Amino acid sequence: MSKTKRPPARRKPLVAQARRGRNRGLTIGIAVLVVIAVGVLYIVFRSNGQNNTASGGSSRFQVGNPGVGQTAPDFTLTSAAGGTVSLSAYRGKTVLLYFHEGLGCQPCWDQIRDLTKNWSQFQAAGVTDLVTITTGAANLVAQKMHDDGLSATALSDPDLAVSHAYNANQYGMMGTGSDGHTFILVGPTGAIQWRADYGGAPNYTMYVAPSQLLTDMKTGRTS
In a domain, 6, yes or no: no
pLDDT of residue 56: 52
Counted domains in the chain: 2
C-alpha closest to that of 105 among 66, 148, 57: 148
Q: How many other C-beta atoms are found inside a 10 Å radius of the C-beta of residue 182?
A: 28
In a domain, 61, yes or no: no
Which contiguous run of DSSP H or E holds residue 86?
strand 84-86
pLDDT of residue 174: 82
Q: What is the CATH number of the domain that holds 133?
A: 3.40.30.10
Q: How many other C-beta atoms are found inside a 10 Å radius of the C-beta of residue 92?
A: 10
Residues 179 and 91 in one domain: yes
| pLDDT, tens only, 46-93 | 333 333 433 455 678 999 999 999 999 999 999 999 999 999 999 999
Note whether 187 and 97 are within 8 A (CB): no
| pLDDT, tens only, 125-148 | 999 999 999 999 999 999 999 999
In a domain, 69, yes or no: no
Output 35 or 186, whichever has higher pLDDT: 186
pTM equals 0.75
pLDDT of residue 175: 85
Q: Domain range for residue 28?
A: 12-54
In a domain, 100, yes or no: yes
In a domain, 125, yes or no: yes
Residues 129 and 207 in one domain: yes
In a domain, 122, yes or no: yes
pLDDT of residue 41: 33
